Amino acid sequence: MRPLKILLIEDFADGRESLAALLRVEKHVVDPVATGTEGLKLAKEQPFDVALIDLSLPDIDGLEIARQLRKEESRPFLIACTGWGRGEDVERTREAGFDFHLTKPIRFEELVKLLASIPQRNPAAA
């Protein structure tokens, strides 16, 4: 699998840094940020293959981030990473434009398999 360029938007510092480190071990290029505002700004400055987005953020919720990123021409594959896992939560993420919904705690093996199935959208990350 080729490395993917991943935007990780997660406000919980330990979780953000741990997941970023694990993804880097898998040879992915990861840009971790703590707020939706930072994530949207970064996503508009450079293309990403994937965006892993927490739904409960201190400034902009992940659903709104997905709606905004869906409008971008070179939008990344959007993965919701949330503690919300009921059927209606999964439906809300789908309606907001997420491609996939992962419920926390995330099983890293499941995430690795999912990432392996995503085509690389950013040739510069290769």
Burial pattern 90-109, b for ≥16 Cβ within 10 A else e, equals bebbeebbbbbbbeeebeee
Q: What's the predicted TM-score (pTM) here? A: 0.92
Going by pLDDT thresholds of 50, 70 and 90, the confidence category of residue 124 is very low
70's tokens: 């869906």
Boundaries of every domain in the chain: 5-120
Residue 125 pLDDT > 60, yes or no? no
For residue range 93-102, list pLDDT tens digits in order: 999 999 999 9
pLDDT for 84: 85
Q: Which two tokens stand for residue 78?
A: 């959007």
Q: Residue 21's pLDDT band (boundaries 50, 70, 90)?
A: very high
Contact 51, 27 (CB under 8 A): no
Percent of the chain with pLDDT over 90: 83
Pairing of strands 50-54, 77-82: parallel
In CATH, the number for domain 5-120 is 3.40.50.2300
For the residues 79-90, what does the mean pLDDT come to?
A: 91
Decide if pLDDT at 119 tops 80: no
